Each structure stands twice: as structure tokens, then as C-alpha cells.
Amino acid sequence: EEPVYCVCRRVSDGTMVMCDNPNCEKEWFHLGCVGLKQAPSSKRKWYCPECIEKGIDKELEGVDNSSAVGVDALPVGKKI
């Protein structure tokens, strides 16, 4: 039995993005399931919606980045 990932709880399939929280419960996400059209830049940290909701991104980065949203982290159709 293959391990499951993502909010959809399905197996690895196609291009996926990894949450930069080392303790993320789901670890890997299908781009479409988290509203991305392409993988974020490898030069920037990317956190899944659940980790962002828990504030893990701010905790790990040690900064308040609530108003600084990277374009590559925006869900499809969401505007700044």
C-alpha cells in the first residue's frame, strides 16, 4: 500500500510541492489541491494552508509575514 499525502489523502501523482514545515502532517501536496498552477520557486519557503493557518510559517521563520504574500504562494485566482 502506497503512502498518501496532500489534503486529498491520495497517493503521489504528478508534480507535487513539499511543505517546508519539517513537522507537517501531510508533507507533500498536489499543485491543484492547494490552488497552484506551477511549483513555487525553490528559492522561497512554501508552507501548506494548514501550517499557515496554525501560524507555523511565522513560527519557523521568526517573523511576522502576515502582510507579505509571495506571488508564487497565492492560490489560483487570488489577487493581492
Q: Does this model's pTM top 0.85? A: no
CB 31 within 8 Å of CB 58: no
6 is in an annotated binding site: yes
- CATH class name, domain 4-54: alpha beta
24 is in an annotated binding site: yes
The Cα 22–Cα 20 span in angstroms is: 6
pLDDT digits (tens, 9 = 90+) for 18-54: 999 999 999 999 999 999 999 999 899 999 999 999 9
17 is in an annotated binding site: no
51 is in an annotated binding site: yes
8 is in an annotated binding site: yes
**Cβ neighbours, 10 Å, residue 57:** 21
pLDDT digits (tens, 9 = 90+) for 3-28: 999 999 999 988 999 999 999 999 99
* Position 70 pLDDT exceeds 90: no
32 is in an annotated binding site: no
